[in-house]
Amino acid sequence: MLSKKFTDAVEFARSAHGEQTRKGTEVTYLSHLLAVAAATLEAGGDEELAIAAVLHDVVEDTEVTVAELVEHFGERVARIVEACSDYTGDDPSAKPPWIERKQGAIDHIATADDDVLIVALADKTHNAMAIADGSELAGQEYWDRFTASGPETLWYYRSLLEVFDRRVSGERTARLAEAVARIDQVLAQQMAVPSS
CA distance 6 to 123: 18
CA atoms within 13 A on the CB side of 63: 2
Of 47, 60, 68, 178, which residue is the catalytic one?
60
Q: Residues with Cβ < 8 Å from 83, sequence gap 6 or more?
A: 108, 112, 116, 120
Q: Catalytic: 144? A: no
Of 8, 46, 61, 184, which residue is the catalytic one?
61
Q: Catalytic: 60? A: yes
Question: What is the CA 18 to chain-centroid distance, rounded?
Answer: 18
Whether residue 176 contacts residue 157, with contact meaning beta carbons closer than 8 Å, is answered with yes
- So which residues are the catalytic ones? 60-61
